[in-house]
Structure 1
Amino acid sequence: MDGTTVTGTKDVGDFCLSHDNTESYYIKSYVPESCKTEACILGIDEAGRGPVLGPMVYSICYCLKNKEEELKLTGCADSKSLTEVKREVIFDKLCGLKDFVGWDTEVISPTVISNSMLRRQKISLNEISHNAAINLVKRAQESGVKVTDVFVDTVGPAGKYQAKLKDIFPELNITVANKADATYPIVSAASIFAKVTRDICLKVWKCPEFLEGTDINLGSGYPGDPDTKKFLEENIDPVFGFPQVVRFSWATALKILEAKAAPIKWEDDELPSGSKSIKSFFKKPEVKERHQFFRDRNLTNTTEL
């Protein structure tokens, strides 16, 4: 999963359209040569943490430290404060700064999210988020980017998250803050890459569960969106559940499954009466304490006379 290199929103759309949506994947820019030799700042942000439909997208954007003012001129701001059209315009402007700006994005499949959160040893959404951010920083370093400063929009308590990152990347200056996407332009740029990528993913999403040509309206993917609610209510199979675009681990989806899906009776995990647990074969054998009479006289067992 090294990542496919693209140069703008159209390329992102083409790649998302051709990709297997059950798997996570990376999309990235070319790495500017200047970013390999001069100090760079790097921002991290995500899009799609709360939706019940579609992927969660994590992005980094890195830029030469001495070019941050030029980055600001693109108009990058918190992606939630911009219209969809404005975000796409800024996305392409940022891609145009290829001499000193680069980016990398992980599209985390809803199937991967559900499987992680519903497995026996559960992986929380916070942990999935932290792992994505950490891997993206490592990818930048492995690509040769000379990262010196990292700015992150927090997931969970900012202080605890910052300490975790600092422990992994002790050589970097790391700042984790609430609403970092509205405070630091480099994080705003990362939020643009994340949000635009997620929007495009939903637009071109292929649902193999539907016949080709079927008109599908996913809405925004957020639980409160009427179109998203309608999609969930109308597209549940009593046996197989929802299409793969749905995060089965979300409470919104689970409630509908409980109400409309066929009930399932699981076999008891209890061992049959008289059966031994496999753990019992690995226990140390019990040593029976000898009677005091034998201990007082230092008497031992013998097999030979």
Structure 2
Amino acid sequence: MAVADPTLDVERALLADAGTVIGIDEVGRGALAGPVAVGVCAVRAAELEHPFPEGLRDSKLLSEKRRNLLAPASAEWARASAVGWSSAAEIDEFGIGACLATAAIRALEALWREGVPVGESAILLDGSHDWLTPGLESPLSVTVRPKADRDCATVAAASVIAKVARDTRMLELEAGDEALGVYGWGSNKGYGSPAHRAAIVAHGPSREHRRSWLAKILA
């Protein structure tokens, strides 16, 4: 079945009550190694006057080559964009839910430093659960929408920008320490492929692994 293009319909509705809409999506929630990344993409009515990049989709529906082309195009289209991070060590200490919120807040702070009025913006969050609000010190206007990364262009853009940033980070980690090459992050990006799981059993976890997630693998 063909996948419909994302639209800006939801963003236009939210802009009726806010000057800026910020689409948010996470990447790396289910990985065994590396950070979790949260992408944010801010648009105003001015950005909606221009078409978003042709071929934009949820990052999971795109090839790596297409993502690498669409990420900079999406960042250029948006008013502003950013990626926030939480490390594997933070995930072990605080849990993935809290770290998703932390990474999102770090990304929103980057938007704020670029002049985006985050506190007055409408937040469009992909998923069925609001994992952002529990981490906030001050409330934001958060709309949670299942499959927003597929249906809403700002969230799709955030997804692509975060995916490319996280994939690049995993490659940089591997390139910076030859001992990490045994885990094959160039192909699996830290996710639990059979080869990655076998390497963890054979070599043990690295400093970049989420050790609290590996009990069943190492049992």
TM-score by length of 2: 0.76
> Shift of the alpha carbon at 1:113?
1.5
Identity of matched residues, %: 25
> Shift of the alpha carbon at 1:106?
1.6
Alpha-carbon separation, structure 1, partners of 2:133 and 2:35: 27
- Consecutive unaligned residues of structure 2, counting only runs of 5 or more, are 1-17
Contact between 2:23 and 2:158, CA under 8 Å: does it hold in 1? yes
Contact between 2:80 and 2:111, CA under 8 Å: does it hold in 1? no
Alpha-carbon separation, structure 2, partners of 1:257 and 1:157: 31
- Runs of 4+ residues over 4 Å off in structure 1: 161-167, 207-212
Contact between 1:207 and 1:244, CA under 8 Å: does it hold in 2? no
Aligned residue runs from structure 1 range 89-128, under 5 A: 89-97=69-77, 101-114=79-92, 116=93, 123-128=94-99
Q: Tell me the equivalent position of 2:191.
A: 222
Contact between 1:74 and 1:94, CA under 8 Å: does it hold in 2? no
Alpha-carbon separation, structure 2, partners of 1:127 and 1:107: 12
Contact between 1:79 and 1:188, CA under 8 Å: does it hold in 2? yes
Query: Do the aligned partners of residues 207 and 77 (structure 1) sit closer, same or farther apart at CA in structure 2, a change above 3 Å counting?
Result: closer
Contact between 1:40 and 1:65, CA under 8 Å: does it hold in 2? yes
> Shift of the alpha carbon at 1:39?
3.2
Relative to total residues, which structure has the larger helix share, 1 or 2?
2
Please, which of 248, 254, 264 is the counterpart of residue 211 of structure 2? Answer: 248
Please, which of 107, 123, 142 is the counterpart of residue 150 of structure 1? Answer: 123
> Shift of the alpha carbon at 1:60?
0.7
Higher RCO (C-alpha under 8 Å, 6+ residues apart): 2
Query: Do the aligned partners of residues 178 and 166 (structure 1) sit closer, same or farther apart at CA in structure 2, a change above 3 Å counting?
Result: farther
Deviation string 1:71-108 (CA, Å, 9 cap, x unpaired) is 523432211011111011001212344xx532111232
Q: Tell me the equivalent position of 1:187.
A: 155
Query: Do the aligned partners of residues 149 and 208 (structure 1) sit closer, same or farther apart at CA in structure 2, a change above 3 Å counting?
Result: closer
* Residues paired across the two proteins, number: 198
Alpha-carbon separation, structure 2, partners of 1:243 and 1:108: 17
- Consecutive unaligned residues of structure 1, counting only runs of 5 or more, are 1-37, 117-122, 237-241, 259-305
> Shift of the alpha carbon at 1:46?
0.8
- Which entry has the higher C-alpha Rg, 1 or 2? 1
